[in-house]
Homo-oligomer: A and B are copies of this chain.
Amino acid sequence: MQNNKTITQVEVPEVVVQRLPIYVRILSQLLESHIEIISSHQLGELLQITPAQIRKDLSYFGRFGKQGRGYNIQFLLDELRQILGIDRAWKACLIGLGRLGRAIINYPGFSPEGFEIVAAFDNNVAQYNSNLGTITVQSMDEIAHTVKEKNISIGIVAVPSNQAQSVIDTLVESGITGILNYAPIAPFAPKHIVMRNIDPVLSLQSMTFYMKENDEIN
């Protein structure tokens, strides 16, 4: 326990946790524009939620705004980054270097946010062992050893669907605690593993629920 404001994950609705990184992104953009204070009304417009929802979201973590004076952006940003655990760097490894995997390893957005891909694995080492900058592609046999040696916390899974569950099992056995899965499966992992699926089809299928209603209203 690092401070007296410790929050347990049970208390905070998952939808709030999913929204906090968007707060961070918007507050960072404001700060870059040299804006220092923002009202919950203004922040609500940017986030497209009500000021009441913002106050409720933040109330899980303490009091951030002074009545009638708005939020100090730098302070709120620092606190949210600490709450989310993104005030530190996280080591990740990538498994699978097909078309998707290569797009991921070349994606410039991870590193500035503190997520560093420090290892990459594929069964076809020879094919992919070039053009990856400082990273040397390793055989999948080496996942467990490397994850422990480099103290890697996050596994990014970009293998074909039929290999994904087996790769996830290996990552779990290796001591990984977070998995970002791109394979379009419904993967299984023990409860202590934090898993997110990046799956555009699932996203589209949860959109049409609302679009269908729009259709019916029109």
Contacts and interface: CB of A to CB of B under 8 A. Distances in A.
Interface of A: 1-2, 6, 8-9, 12-15, 17-18, 20-22, 24-26, 29, 46-48, 83-86, 90, 92, 99-100, 103-104, 106-107, 109-110, 113, 115, 153-154, 156, 177-178, 180, 184-186, 188, 191-192, 194-196, 198, 200-216
Given A46-B186, A194-B207, A8 B201 contact: no
Contact of A110 (B14, B196, B200): B200
Contacts of A186: 22, 25-26, 29, 46-47
Contacts of A106: 99
Given A48-B188, A180-B203, A202-B22, A209 B115 contact: no
User: In this complex, which of A1, A196, A211 has the most chain B Cβ atoms within 10 angstroms of its Cβ?
Assistant: A211
A177 B211 CA distance: 7
Contact of A48 (B6, B20, B191, B216): B191
